[in-house]
Amino acid sequence: MTQVPDAAGPSRGPQALPAFGAAAAPGSLESLRGRNRERVLSEVRRRGATSRVDIVRETGLSRSTVSSLVGGLITEGLLVERPERSVAVRSSNGGGRPATVLTLNPVTGGVVGVHFGHDSARIALADLSGQLIGERLRELDVDHDVEATLTFAADSARELMAEAALGGDRLLGCGVAVSTPVHPPGTYVSGPSLLTDWRGVDIAGELRNRLGTPVLVGNDANLGAVAEWTFGAGRGVDNLIYVMVSDGLGAGLILNGHLFRGGHDTAGEFGHVVVAPNGSICRCGGRGCLETMAGGRALVEALAHRHGGGLSLEDAVGLAAAGDAGAQRVFSDCGRAVGEALAGICSVLDPSLVIVGGKASAVGATLLDGVRDGLRRRLPPSIIGELPVVAGQLEARAEVLGAIALVTRKAPWGA
């Protein structure tokens, strides 16, 4: 197994092109058009799906320039138009017609997304517009069984590609979401600090060698935020906080339309905010972290005296959804603890939206109301009154969709 840091390797794919205008003289009209073309493509990759009007607003290019560039990219087969499922544009006679958005051309190839949780692995294949083609999910001891986890990911990716009748040369990249900070973003050449059995394992290099495609790696909460912002509950909101309540706890920050990683790539390590200085020892080695009160293990242990050992977080979620009073209280308390810890971040960053995702979000109103109550206890009315708290729309697939977006946003085809 590769233990040596390794770069992600060159990108490839049937539509990969050299940088547009590379041979043009600096400052020439051809060079300028090439740079503008790259800006349009970058904006579509960044948003996943966007409109001409949004491209004009975000790039500052004129409507005529954007229209011309988009027309050319559609003709080349790099962009396609599709109906926007959630938007209707009102016509002058009062009727409505479906709005259209621009996406990368899905037939160009496939992208694999991988989410390594603590106790399961999810592998998904999507086209370049972010539409899922197929997926695999398996319970695994990811924290400790490195080889079985990597083998499952690679085998599943190949199976999904074969089922979709896509040859190996049509796999344009693989993104991986992991439950730990990633240094540096995108390449992941150092071992996870909280997953001791993975320390020194070059995940990007291992999967690249097995799949023969570029691999990028990111923190799962960060990628969950990117996914909800790109495809889900955060569409159109450029300042939001995504809170992942799952086996662990994490947060992803979208600020001014960009993922915020912080000075050391550890922004959003929400689960290890100390909320009880004399509390329990956390797996990170600290004491009284939020995760010891509201993480998956803490939630399950709170119900063990009534339901016995062997209970999983999914079992606890099912109990709460079925109306079990004890389970509902556990998730309500969890939400309240999360909300109180989140309040300081909201006071500083002033987000427009809080999205709650992860396995526990399936509980629904019980958890969300707890988060709102925790925020209400710590935030002044002027702030909490304008801060919506909503459930993520992508549920358990948020992190794997974020891993897919990690690739499509960085992919060089056509730019």
Task: Output the CA–CA distances (angstroms, integers) from residue 262 to 78, 186, 409, in the order listed.
Answer: 33, 15, 19
The candidate with the shortest Cα–Cα distance to 171, out of 159, 186, 187, 185, is 159
pTM to 2 decimals?
Answer: 0.76
Task: Output the CA–CA distances (angstroms, integers) from residue 267 to 157, 223, 241, in the order listed.
Answer: 30, 13, 11
Task: Output the CA–CA distances (angstroms, integers) from residue 201 to 38, 190, 194, in the order listed.
Answer: 35, 7, 13
Residue identified by tokens 């960053």 is 349
Instruction: Supply 60's token pair.
Output: 């500052």
Which pLDDT does position 93 carry in this prediction?
41
Which pLDDT does position 34 carry in this prediction?
81
Q: Which of 171-210 are b and which e, b meaning 16 or more Cβ less than 10 Å from the residue's Cβ?
A: bbbbbbbbbbbbbebbbbbebbebbeebeebbbbbbbbbb
Give the ranges where 324-397 is alpha helix by DSSP (H).
Answer: 325-349, 365-378, 381-384
**Residues 6+ positions from 197 with CB-CB distance below 8 Å:** 143, 144, 145, 146
Which pLDDT does position 112 carry in this prediction?
96
Which domains, and CATH codes, for the chain? 1-232+396-415 (3.30.420.40), 233-392 (3.30.420.40)
d(CA 356, CA 346): 14
Maximal C-alpha separation, the chain: 74
Which pLDDT does position 27 carry in this prediction?
53
The rounded average pLDDT for each run of 10 residues, N- to C-terminus, in the chain (415 residues) is 34 31 51 85 81 91 93 86 54 50 80 92 88 92 93 96 82 90 59 67 92 92 94 92 93 94 87 90 89 93 87 93 95 96 93 95 95 94 87 93 87 42
